[in-house]
Amino acid sequence: MKLTIEQVRHVANLARLSLTPEEEQRYATQLSAVLDAVAQLQELDVSGVEPTSHATLAASLLREDVTRPSLPPEKGLANAPSKVGTSFAVPKIIE
């Protein structure tokens, strides 16, 4: 799908972009290539393909979600410049 310069200007306006004429021409070419690629993908028959949550069918590489002992407050606050009890002390910024 070939985009016109007017369409590129419209999209740039929606995105609050100020483009030079050279950029308008370059983006018209680039955006047209993207739309052509999407059009090619739309021609594929994916009716027999099950939806997936990941691009690959590999097993999850994420670690198990198990609880573990947390860092003790004394160790977590060891390098804190200022603390109050078991919390970091920070200057008040809202008056």
C-alpha count within 13 angstroms, C-beta hemisphere, residue 37: 6
Average pLDDT, rounded, for the chain? 90
The residues with which 88 forms a beta bridge, in sequence order, are 83
State if pTM tops 0.75.
no
**Residue 36: which of 8, 11, 1 has the closest Cα?**
1
What percent of the chain lies above the pLDDT cut of 90? 65
Position 57 scores a pLDDT of: 66
pLDDT in tens, 23-49: 999 999 999 999 999 999 999 998 888
Any idea which architecture 5-42 has in CATH?
Orthogonal Bundle (1.10)
Q: Is the per-residue pLDDT at 52 higher than 90?
A: no
